[in-house]
């Protein structure tokens, strides 16, 4: 048997370790809490500024009348990101008006349920926690946009 090069062995282990952790997760720790009231206010302002910046990008792309499918995909990305910011902003805001006991998780985070009696605030808050239904399509359209723009530049360079 041929001995393995030490650098090759280290590279192999460095690539294998993240794959191991991806295949055997324990806790995602995906939620971020904001310390004190100033943290959430800054976070909410960031949602508003990001939505405004993306709205300006959408407007500027339309005003400039860039040709091509990639620019249209980028505008669709902008629409989804604006919606995501508005939904996330609403969810954070309504989080102040519900108690921790209003949403129950009998079998973990993925089995969340609204505790009765139902109210409009609870239902809207619960729907606002589904903000990934806007962010994931946004990222997909960003990918389509970048791929389309890359291919259009690649075709121009071949000429």
Domain that holds residue 69: 39-158
Does the pLDDT value for residue 30 go beyond 80? no
Q: How far apart are CA 147 and CA 142, in angstroms?
A: 8
Higher pLDDT, 70 or 11: 70
In a domain, 11, yes or no: no
Count of domains for the chain: 1
In a domain, 80, yes or no: yes
Given a cut of 80, is residue 139 above it in pLDDT? yes
pTM above 0.75, yes or no: no
Find out whether 142 and 61 touch, Cβ atoms under 8 Å: no
pLDDT by residue (tens digit) across 31-59? Answer: 566 666 777 888 899 999 999 999 999 99
Is 1 part of a structural domain of the chain? no
Domain presence at residue 19: no
Total length of the chain: 159
């Amino acid at each position: 048997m041929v001995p393995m090069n030490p650098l090759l062995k280290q590279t192999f282990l460095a690539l294998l370790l993240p794959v191991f952790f991806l295949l055997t997760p324990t806790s995602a720790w995906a939620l971020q809490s904001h310390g004190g009231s100033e943290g959430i206010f800054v976070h909410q302002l960031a949602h508003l500024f990001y939505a405004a910046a993306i709205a300006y990008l959408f407007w500027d792309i339309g005003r400039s009348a860039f040709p091509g499918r990639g620019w249209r995909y980028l505008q669709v990305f902008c629409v989804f990101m604006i919606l995501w910011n508005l939904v996330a902003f609403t969810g954070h805001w309504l989080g102040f008006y519900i108690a921790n006991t209003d949403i129950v998780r009998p079998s973990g985070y993925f089995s969340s349920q609204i505790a009765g009696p139902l109210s409009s605030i609870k239902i809207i808050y619960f729907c606002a926690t589904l903000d990934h239904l806007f962010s994931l399509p946004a990222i997909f359209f960003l990918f389509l946009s970048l791929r389309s723009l890359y291919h259009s530049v690649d075709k121009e360079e071949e000429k």
